[in-house]
């Protein structure tokens, strides 16, 4: 199993550009999520999904869109990049949405810089 | 509302000594899970330990144990016999089981430095 994969690993965008961060998992996990990590702020939840076709907002959803057309993939779209979106982005997945005991598996992260 | 608080931005510990990293949480859900993750300087997130709200015993995994005090809503991580490789960021997280949100929420983290 590759686990959770994210592409790209690094990206530099200009203000106003759009892009999609890719996330895939091969563990047949129901639950997937996106976080951003900023110094001193921990990991903040952007969007999450409890299964194909079902997504919901987290703590900081503004400026980001998601969709979940398959169990495996959960892309994160930046609609119009802003310098405030400079961050490290993590995708994560876990086995079940119904139980609390399943830990999340994390991808390696994408370091995004918006100039 | 679901909330995790880690009040120690940074901690130092001498090699081979034990250290406690604090975590308090807030939830109205009677069923929830608490997690600790380690993030070394390389950046990956590593799951360490889990505690369920109905678990009677404190969770242990090798040198890691979770000091779960339900009435005080605290879930402190104890690392025994610290090693240099334990130097990292540590995050506490929580997931509510029955509220329907299924969200994992993280604290702001504690940076641990182990001194030789």
A39 to chain B, any CB pair closer than 8 A? The answer is no
Q: Tell me the β-bridge partners of B4.
A: B25
Tokens of B110: 């504690």
- Residue to substitute from B31, B47, B59, B106, interface A, most A β-carbons within 10 A: B106
Smallest CA–CA distance from B55 into chain A, residue: A101
User: How close are the terminal C-alpha atoms of chain B, in Å?
Assistant: 41
Predicted pLDDT at A100: 63
Give the model's pLDDT for residue B108: 95
| Predicted local confidence at residue A97, as pLDDT | 67
Q: How far apart are CA A112 and CA B38, in angstroms?
A: 22
Summarize pLDDT for A43-91 with one digit per residue, the tens: 999 999 989 999 999 999 999 999 999 999 999 999 999 999 999 999 9
Give me the total of CB pairs closer than 8 Å, taking one residue from chain A and one from chain B.
Answer: 61
CA gap B79, B102 in Å, rounded = 28
Q: Say yes or no to pLDDT of B69 above 80.
A: yes
Q: Which residues pair with A66 in a beta bridge?
A: A76
A40–B9 C-beta distance less than 8 A = yes
- Record the tokens describing residue A57, joined without a space: 């907002």
> d(Cα A21, Cα A13) in Å, to the nearest integer?
12
Chain A residues closer than 8 Å to B93 by CB: 43, 104
A68 neighbors A57 (Cβ within 8 angstroms): no
Q: A54 and chain B: CB distance < 8 Å anywhere?
A: no
Average pLDDT in the A8-13 region? Answer: 97
For the segment B54-72, the average pLDDT, to the nearest whole number, is 95
Chosen from A103, A110, A111 to mutate, greatest number of chain B CBs within 10 A: A103
d(CA A14, CA A81): 7
List of chain A residues whose C-beta atoms are within 8 Å of the C-beta of residue B47: 103-105
| Structure confidence by residue, pLDDT tens digits, B1-36 | 789 999 999 999 999 999 999 999 999 888 889 999
> What confidence score (pLDDT) does residue A43 get?
95
Q: How far apart are CA B4 and CA B36, in angstroms?
A: 12
CB-CB under 8 Å, B106 with A100: no
Pairing of strands B24-26, B88-96: unpaired
Looking at residue B43, what is its pLDDT?
Answer: 94
Pairwise CB contact (< 8 Å): B104 & A105: no
Residue A47 has what pLDDT?
A: 96
Mean pLDDT, chain B, rounded, equals 93
Nearest Cα to Cα of residue A1 among A21, A26, A19: A26
The per-residue pLDDT for B12 is 97
Residue A99 confidence (pLDDT) above 70: no
| Contact (Cβ atoms closer than 8 angstroms) between residue A47 and residue A34 | yes
Nearest to B58 by CA among B82, B34, B39, B38: B34
Are B91 and B109 contacting, i.e. CB atoms less than 8 angstroms apart?
A: yes
**pLDDT 10s digits, B27-48:** 988 888 999 999 999 999 999 9
More confident residue, B96 or A26: A26
Return the pLDDT at A102: 83
Report helix, strand or coil for B110.
strand
For residue A4 the two structure tokens come to 């959770």
Cis before A67? omega within 30 = no
Q: Which pLDDT score is estimated for B97? A: 74
Q: Would you call B56 helix, strand, or coil by DSSP?
A: coil
Instruction: Give the pLDDT band (50/70/90) at residue B98.
Output: low
Query: Kind of pairing, strands A76-78 and A105-106?
Result: unpaired
Q: Residue B8 corresponds to which tokens in the numbers above?
A: 């120690």
Position B99 confidence tier, pLDDT thresholds 50, 70, 90: low
Residue of B nearest to A47 (CA): B103
Residue-averaged pLDDT of chain A: 93
């Amino acid at each position: 199993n590759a686990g959770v994969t994210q592409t790209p690993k690094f990206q530099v965008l200009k203000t106003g550009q759009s892009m999609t961060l890719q996330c895939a998992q091969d563990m047949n996990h129901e639950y997937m999520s996106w976080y951003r990590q900023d110094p001193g702020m921990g990991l903040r939840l952007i969007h999450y999904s409890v299964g194909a076709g079902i997504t919901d907002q987290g703590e900081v959803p503004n400026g980001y869109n998601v969709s979940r057309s398959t169990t495996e993939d959960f892309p994160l779209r930046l609609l119009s990049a802003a310098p405030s979106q400079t961050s490290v982005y993590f995708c994560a997945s876990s086995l079940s949405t119904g139980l609390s005991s399943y830990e999340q598996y994390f991808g390696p992260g994408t370091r995004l810089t918006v100039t | 509302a679901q909330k995790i608080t880690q009040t120690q931005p940074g901690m130092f510990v001498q090699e081979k000594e034990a250290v406690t990293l604090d975590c308090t949480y807030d939830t109205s859900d009677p069923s929830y899970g608490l997690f600790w993750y380690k993030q070394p300087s390389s950046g990956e997130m590593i799951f360490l330990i889990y505690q369920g709200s109905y678990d009677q015993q404190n969770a242990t995994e090798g040198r890691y144990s979770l000091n779960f005090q339900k009435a005080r809503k605290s879930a402190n991580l104890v690392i025994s016999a610290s090693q240099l490789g334990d130097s990292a960021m540590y995050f506490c997280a929580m997931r509510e089981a029955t509220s329907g949100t299924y969200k994992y929420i993280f604290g702001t983290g504690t940076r641990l430095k182990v001194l030789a």
